[in-house]
Chains A and B, each alone.
Chain A
Amino acid sequence: MTARSPLALTGTAAALLLGLTACAGGGTSAASSQPASGSVAGSSAASASDTAQAGTGASDGKVTLYSGRDENLVQPVLDQFTQETGIDVEVRYDKTAAMAAQLIEEGDSSPADVFLAQDAGALGATAKEGVLTEMDEETLETVPEQYRDDEGRWVGLTGRVRVLAYNEDTVTQADLPVTVAELTEDEWKGRVGVAPTNASFQTFVTALRTVEGEDEAREWLEGLAENDPQIREKNGEILADVDAGTIDVGLINHYYLYEMAKEKGVAPEDMKASLHFFEDGDLGSLVNVSGIGLVGEQEDADAQKLVDYLLSEKGQQYFVEETFEYPMVDGVEPPAGLPALDDLEAPDVDLNDLDDLQSSVQLIQESGLL
């Protein structure tokens, strides 16, 4: 046996590669650091050094963001922010729930400055654990009251509506249900796709419990479970099956249709799947938000600037165009082809009450769906 053990080889290679990535790592934090010259939007734009004087908190030209939303959806707008303000954004990406768990586990020693979450429930849960700090009053007031925390610890960034996706070939518009409650009727037996393990469905159930009461929610879930539903893991899987015609209808969030059309390279209208909005304030068309909160006890001027940027016209416009979600501020139009948020007569739900998914999950489990 020669002395060249695989271990020694591995060691050398490891040292080599660690060095390599260290170099690569330096370059990854983006097109940043040089403040962009020329036009910058509004008062929120300033170079890093100005911010230190202007802001209330400390500023070091760097923000650490924990993002529960996907990189493909978020990174471009963060790059825009860095270009315009010179503030670097270091981002960790993970699922919203995992990120919330991580933040709570890290507690006071969290390296995060900002938490960007997929849904209001996760923000509520972290706020309850004392992880989030209060935001500027001015920032809060740009967003309608029903889409932010009562105590100002988080604010909605974009709106998403629960809808019923249906296949145009197998379901005529006249046959579509008026309320989500109708989906438990015989007519829909074996035809409805749901994702009981998905947070968006569980949030809907939480709303049902909060507004209609435990018994109503249980009855609906049991009715749905007995109606031979088509269970899937994710909204996207439901939509794919609806589009393919394997499922007639399915409960999803509205923007999935647009994302799938984009990935397929076709216009949303050309898909076999279409969106149906429940009317008259029916809970089926619950409006939830993705939102953002400041982490830690110390107010950080850079972090506050990031929140302000995402709520600025530019930031909001980005989400409308790229993620097909509803804007939260006045003066920005919703994505083309979607009904206005106000016209939806969105059901009256306090998003602060949606942080208890646990009881909903239990109810879903007891109904046999999970």
Chain B
Amino acid sequence: MAAAAALVPVGYLFLRAAEGGVSAWLDAVARPRVAELAATSLALTAVVTAACLVVGVGAAWLVTRSDTPGRRFLAVVLAMPLAVPSFVAAFTWVSVSDLLPWVDGGRLEGFGAAALVLTLYTYPYVYLPVAAAFSRTDPAQEDVARSLGRGPWRTFFTVTLPQARLSIAGGGLLAALYTLSDFGAVAILRLDTFTRAIFTALEVGFNRQLALTLATVLVVLTFVILWGEGRTRRAIPAVRTGRTVRRAPAQRLGPWRWPAAAGLAAVLVAALGVPGVSLIRWMGAGTSLSAAADRWLEAVLGSLSLALAGTLLTMLLALPVGVLAARHPGRVSRWVEHAVFLAHGLPGVVVGLSLVFLGASLARPLYQTTWMVAFAYATLFLPLAVAAVSGAVAQSSPAIEEAARSLGAPPRVVLRRVTLPLAAPGLGAGAALVMLTAMKELPATLLLRPTGTDTLATRLWSATGVGRYAEAAPYALTLVLLAAIPAWVVVHRTGVVPAEGVRA
């Protein structure tokens, strides 16, 4: 059921692409320019994913496993770049081009710029689940490795990392698909990627057929990435059994404590400081600030209600898929899990447009209601939730569930009283990810929202679109602050636990 929901836009896509017949599909797709764009998209995806893995895993380890100063604060703030929509991030980076020493006289743009900006705002997809995983894994195995004489680096690579492998792979996959489907950042930073070709066909040529045909190529690329990710998790992950979880002692970094903190701070200055500076400049640069006052509250409520409805629906759909994937690994569950990821590689505008058609013709009473938007969020962001659920469930031992079952508890009760509470940190992180992402979603929201409803993201888009930067700034600030709340709750209460302090 859940998988079927996610496949709705993909199915529609292939149906529409098939209308033209195979030869028309080949005509549209088998062109040098398409190959060129696909190559750029894949290269960007590879670079950004690799960078996200390094930054995300590194930050997660430093915060949860080392004595890096300020880790309590960093643990929360490191998740915040996720709250910045990529189009805002790119825009704010471009508008500080004049302050960047390496951009002489011109404008920040191109492959390097796009890779930098996307990495800065995508690495939390890796950081959050991995930090939650590090917080949850019993350090016993690491202790054993260390006591047997393995150095800290070897222990990290041979014990710590493999234990969090599912979360790392899941996070990397999300970062990859986000990059593949992103349009906002690459458009503003002027990098020709595949999403841009879809956009051009749709928005300037009024050629839906071509746009949808091109989008099928993205589905194929997504498939390839999924296949690659699937290969990294062949073996059954190591699972801690029995004893209560003990929190890991902080690894002492010695003289590296401050460089480590400085490194994390640098990431944050780049990811949050740059937009901050831009927004302050914007606010001072225009006269339209007052317009924001009247619209602000309505936009906040719009953002919250749409995002919450979306999160609710997404989590409900994600639970069965995630549990299935973690507890009954096999051909069927792998297919189901992959299915929910397919739509995630599509740009929001394609998913939105397919739901416009289906909503207007088949689900008229739901069309242009909150629930249609929630459904779009669910199809787009289901993978965020599924990765979190399956990662969290896989980390808790099935033995406890078996024990509950052997004592006569029916499956429903086992799920409610054993599986879910044990997986709560992962579920929380998943819900937060969905919530954050839903709040900054733009293209599908624009197409499907109830007429007259606005969100902070749509207000932001509308204001920057006509150059009213002063009005845009408060929306952007609010969006980030608002998104910070669920992140804070989750990071603090359940997900990411900073390492205990050590006294020297």
- With A90-B451, A110-B360: A11-B312 Cβ-Cβ less than 8 Å: yes
Whether B188 is near chain A, meaning CB under 8 Å from some CB there, is yes
Selected interface stretch from B3-11, B112-120, B147-155, B466-474:
B466-474
A263-B288 in contact (CB<8A): yes
A327 CB to closest chain B CB, in angstroms? 21
Selected interface stretch from A24-32, A271-279, A284-292, A311-319:
A24-32
A14-B450 in contact (CB<8A): no
Whether B427 is near chain A, meaning CB under 8 Å from some CB there, is yes
- With A10-B312, A17-B301, A94-B446: A105-B467 Cβ-Cβ less than 8 Å: no
- Per-position contact with B for A252-275: 1 when CB-CB < 8 Å, else 0? 000000011011110000000000
Q: B357-376: which have CB < 8 Å to A?
A: 357, 360-361, 364, 367-368, 370
A105-B357 in contact (CB<8A): yes
Residue of A with least CB distance to B302 = A21
Whether A306 is near chain B, meaning CB under 8 Å from some CB there, is no
Q: A5-B424, A10-B308 are in contact. List 13 more A-B contacts (CB 8 A).
A: A5-B427, A17-B305, A20-B301, A21-B301, A70-B466, A92-B452, A97-B202, A97-B204, A107-B360, A109-B364, A233-B187, A358-B201, A358-B206
B361's contact among A11, A93, A94, A107, by CB below 8 Å, is which? A107
- With A5-B424, A70-B465: A105-B205 Cβ-Cβ less than 8 Å: no
When chains A and B are docked, how far (Å) is the Cα of A240 from the Cα of B468?
A: 13
Contacts of A7 in B (CB 8 A): 315, 427, 431
Closest 9 CB pairs of A and B: A358-B205, A14-B308, A1-B421, A97-B203, A125-B206, A106-B360, A6-B428, A21-B305, A236-B467
The residue among B288, B297, B465 with the most chain A CB atoms within 10 A of its own CB is: B465
Whether B349 is near chain A, meaning CB under 8 Å from some CB there, is yes
Contacts of B291 in A (CB 8 A): 72
Contacts of A95 in B (CB 8 A): 203, 465
Q: B307-360: which have CB < 8 Å to A?
A: 308-309, 311-312, 315, 349, 353, 356-357, 360
- With A72-B468, A105-B357, A122-B206: A17-B308 Cβ-Cβ less than 8 Å: yes
A49 CB to closest chain B CB, in angstroms? 24
When chains A and B are docked, how far (Å) is the Cα of A298 from the Cα of B467?
A: 38
A109's contact among B202, B206, B361, by CB below 8 Å, is which? B361
- With A6-B489, A18-B308, A104-B208: A111-B427 Cβ-Cβ less than 8 Å: no
> Which residues of A approach B to under 8 Å, CB–CB?
1, 3, 5-7, 10-11, 13-14, 17-18, 20-21, 24-25, 28-29, 64, 70-73, 90-95, 97-98, 100-102, 104-107, 109-111, 121-122, 125, 197, 199, 202, 231, 233, 236, 240, 246, 259-260, 262-265, 355, 357-358, 361, 365, 370
Contacts of A111 in B (CB 8 A): 360, 367-368, 451
- With A17-B301, A24-B301, A106-B356: A233-B190 Cβ-Cβ less than 8 Å: yes
The residue among A17, A64, A97, A202 with the most chain B CB atoms within 10 A of its own CB is: A17
B206-A93 in contact (CB<8A): no
Whether B38 is near chain A, meaning CB under 8 Å from some CB there, is no
Whether B265 is near chain A, meaning CB under 8 Å from some CB there, is no
- With A111-B367, A233-B188: A10-B311 Cβ-Cβ less than 8 Å: yes
Whether B287 is near chain A, meaning CB under 8 Å from some CB there, is yes
Q: B396-423: which have CB < 8 Å to A?
A: 420-422
A271 CB to closest chain B CB, in angstroms? 13
Contacts of B188 in A (CB 8 A): 233
Residue of B with least CB distance to A16 = B308
When chains A and B are docked, how far (Å) is the Cα of A48 from the Cα of B123?
A: 55
Contacts of A93 in B (CB 8 A): 458, 462
Residue of A with least CB distance to B313 = A14
Q: B489-504: which have CB < 8 Å to A?
A: 489-490, 493-494
A290 CB to closest chain B CB, in angstroms? 14
Whether B447 is near chain A, meaning CB under 8 Å from some CB there, is yes
B353-A101 in contact (CB<8A): yes
Number of interface residues of B (CB under 8 A): 69
Contacts of B353 in A (CB 8 A): 101-102, 105
B208's contact among A101, A106, A199, by CB below 8 Å, is which? A101
A199-B288 in contact (CB<8A): no
A265-B287 in contact (CB<8A): yes
Interface of A, secondary structure class, is helix
When chains A and B are docked, how far (Å) is the Cα of A71 from the Cα of B291?
A: 11
A325 CB to closest chain B CB, in angstroms? 14
Residue of B with least CB distance to A96 = B203
Contacts of B141 in A (CB 8 A): none
B469 CB to closest chain A CB, in angstroms? 8
When chains A and B are docked, how far (Å) is the Cα of A233 from the Cα of B108?
A: 13
Contacts of A97 in B (CB 8 A): 202-204, 206
B451-A92 in contact (CB<8A): yes
Whether B478 is near chain A, meaning CB under 8 Å from some CB there, is no
Whether B33 is near chain A, meaning CB under 8 Å from some CB there, is yes
When chains A and B are docked, how far (Å) is the Cα of A101 from the Cα of B427?
A: 37
Contacts of A11 in B (CB 8 A): 312
- With A105-B356, A233-B187, A361-B200: A14-B288 Cβ-Cβ less than 8 Å: no
Sample 26 A-B pairs with CB under 8 A, ordered by A number. Answer: A5-B421, A10-B311, A10-B431, A20-B301, A21-B301, A21-B304, A24-B298, A25-B450, A29-B452, A73-B466, A91-B451, A92-B449, A95-B465, A98-B349, A98-B446, A100-B206, A101-B206, A107-B360, A111-B451, A197-B200, A236-B466, A263-B286, A263-B467, A264-B287, A357-B204, A358-B205
Contacts of B204 in A (CB 8 A): 97, 197, 199, 202, 357-358, 361
B437 CB to closest chain A CB, in angstroms? 14
The residue among A5, A13, A91, A97 with the most chain B CB atoms within 10 A of its own CB is: A5
- Per-position contact with A for B457-484: 1 when CB-CB < 8 Å, else 0? 0100011011111100000000000000
Residue of B with least CB distance to A71 = B462
A365-B33 in contact (CB<8A): yes
Residue of B with least CB distance to A19 = B305
B287-A102 in contact (CB<8A): no
Whether B207 is near chain A, meaning CB under 8 Å from some CB there, is yes
B467-A259 in contact (CB<8A): yes
Whether B453 is near chain A, meaning CB under 8 Å from some CB there, is yes
Residue of A with least CB distance to B495 = A6
B304-A91 in contact (CB<8A): no
Contacts of A18 in B (CB 8 A): 305, 308-309, 370
- Per-position contact with A for B260-299: 1 when CB-CB < 8 Å, else 0? 0000000000000000000000000111100100000110
B287-A1 in contact (CB<8A): no
B467 CB to closest chain A CB, in angstroms? 4
A6's contact among B301, B422, B490, by CB below 8 Å, is which? B490
